Structure 1
Amino acid sequence: MGDAMSTGCSLTVRNGGVVVLSVVEEVDMATAGAVRRALHDLLDERPDTLVLDLRRVAFFGSSGISALVGAAHRADRLGVRLVVATTRRGVLRALEITGAADLVAVVASPEQAVASSVPEPRDGARIRFTQGVG
């Protein structure tokens, strides 16, 4: 996990079995491997919910999508709820275009993932972006 920390990732553990992995700047070929390893390491701990916080990510490329898709399949096998938190249009668009939004729930913030009932993925909607209240 130390490698991921050097690429703009931080980890927050919240009450109730929720872990938040926050990523900043870019998820591209240079950084996606560290993000992938961090996601897999955290999934191995089997939290109830793992939130990938992409609110401060300016670019989420195909390598990031690949890491997310792999993590979504792994989370499904392990019974972990994987949620993406972002309001960035570019990130939302990448999730929608690639179909990654069909594999995970998408919310505006980690707090929303914790506080509210997040729709389960694979419900037929192209993207489940829930606007924050307030």
Structure 2
Amino acid sequence: MSDLPTSAMVILRASARRYETASDSVTASDPTALLVELLVDLDLSTVDRFRRSFKSLLHEASGARPAIGDLIVLDLSRVDFIGVDGASALVDAKELAAGYGLELALVTATRGVEHALAATGVSQIFTCHGTVASALAFGSSHLGALTDLAY
């Protein structure tokens, strides 16, 4: 994937996204979700960095509430592989988000990700979507700006 050592890689990128609404006008009070893109495969070499980065992201994002709303969309569309340790880390991330009062939804756009989550049983505990747009549409039923962040 990259020649950089894992510790030097940016593995998460986060930004606030407004929910899709029927209204054409956007106001500062419109609810947002936190979109987090995972930029690397989630395996033994990256799982600890993911856990640390996600925890740091949640800690920082919690100070921006209610601006981030009640939903985190974790976009896995750039991910080709998730190992067993990675699937476990996703479960931990969901539990950590719940501790902050946030729902964690996944974008599982690749066959490899969908297969890994199904094989480990993890897909049964997540709300999974094929696209970011469908995840944000799901989020519009929830209540609810961060600047772009990288971890």
For 2:47, the aligned partner's letter is A
Residues 5/17 of structure 1: CA separation in 2 closer, same or farther (3 Å cut)? farther
Q: Which residue of 2 aligns with 1:22?
A: 37
Aligned length: 117
Partners of 2:11 and 2:50 within 8 A in 1:
no
Residues 19/60 of structure 1: CA separation in 2 closer, same or farther (3 Å cut)? same
Q: Which residue of 1 aligns with 2:85?
A: 63
Q: 1:93 deviation in Å?
A: 1.2
Larger Rg: 2
Residues 42/101 of structure 1: CA separation in 2 closer, same or farther (3 Å cut)? same
Gaps of 5+ in 1: 120-134
For 1:82, the aligned partner's letter is L
Q: Please state which structure has a larger fraction of its residues in strand.
A: 1
TM-score for the superposition, normalised by structure 1: 0.73
Q: CA separation in 2, counterparts of 1:114 and 1:32?
A: 26
Q: Which residue of 1 aligns with 2:146?
A: none
For 1:61, the aligned partner's letter is G
TM-score for the superposition, normalised by structure 2: 0.66
Gaps of 5+ in 2: 1-5, 19-30, 63-67, 142-151
- Residue 45 of structure 2 aligns to a residue whose secondary structure is coil
Greater relative contact order (CA < 8 Å, ≥ 6 in sequence): 2
Q: 1:98 deviation in Å?
A: 1.3
Q: Which residue of 2 aligns with 1:110?
A: 132
**Structural mapping, 1:1-134, within 5 Å:** 6-15=9-18, 16-44=31-59, 45-46=61-62, 47=68, 48-116=70-138
Residues 26/11 of structure 1: CA separation in 2 closer, same or farther (3 Å cut)? same
- Residue 57 of structure 1 aligns to a residue whose secondary structure is coil
Q: 1:57 deviation in Å?
A: 0.6
Q: Which residue of 2 aligns with 1:124?
A: none
For 2:120, the aligned partner's letter is T
